[in-house]
Amino acid sequence: MTVTEIAGRQVHVDAEGFMTDPSEWDEALAPVLAGNIGIELTEAHWNLIRFLRTDFATQGETATTRRVQTVAGVPTKTQFELFPKKPAKKMAYIAGLPKPRGCV
C-alpha cells in the first residue's frame, strides 16, 4: 500500500491510485480526484458518488455499473455520460473507494 498526497493530505492508495481506506475520504477530496481524471462535478455526479459511499458502507464492496442501475435507478447510458469510458472505475476513484471487483 502506497501513501500519496492529495489536496494537501496523506492518503493510502493502491498501485492504480484508488484509495484503500474509505475513511480517509471526504467531500473536499472529490473535486480534486475528479479533476485528476478530467471530470467537473455536477449535482448528478454527486448523487452517484453519495450513493456509492452509502452502498459501500452497507455492502462492504464497491458497486458495479449494474448495481448502480438496479439499486440507484441510474441507467448505464447516464453513467457513461457522466463518467465516460469506465464509469464504475471513475465513480469509485472519485468516491474514494476501492476499485470495483467487476465493472459490470
- pLDDT by residue for the chain (104 residues), tens only, comes to 688 888 888 999 999 989 999 999 999 999 999 999 999 999 999 999 999 999 999 999 999 999 999 999 999 999 999 999 999 999 999 999 999 886 55
The reply to whether 103 belongs to the active site is: yes
Separation of alpha carbons 85 and 1, rounded Å: 26
The reported pTM is 0.92
Q: Is residue 47 part of a domain?
A: yes
Closest to 10 in 3D by CA, of 32, 31, 25: 25
Q: C-alpha cell of 82?
A: 457522466
Residues of the domain holding 81: 2-95
Catalytic residue among 7, 32, 103, 104: 103
Residue 43 in domain? yes
* Whole-Å CA distances, 47 to 54, 68, 73, 93: 11, 11, 11, 15
Structural domain count, the chain? 1
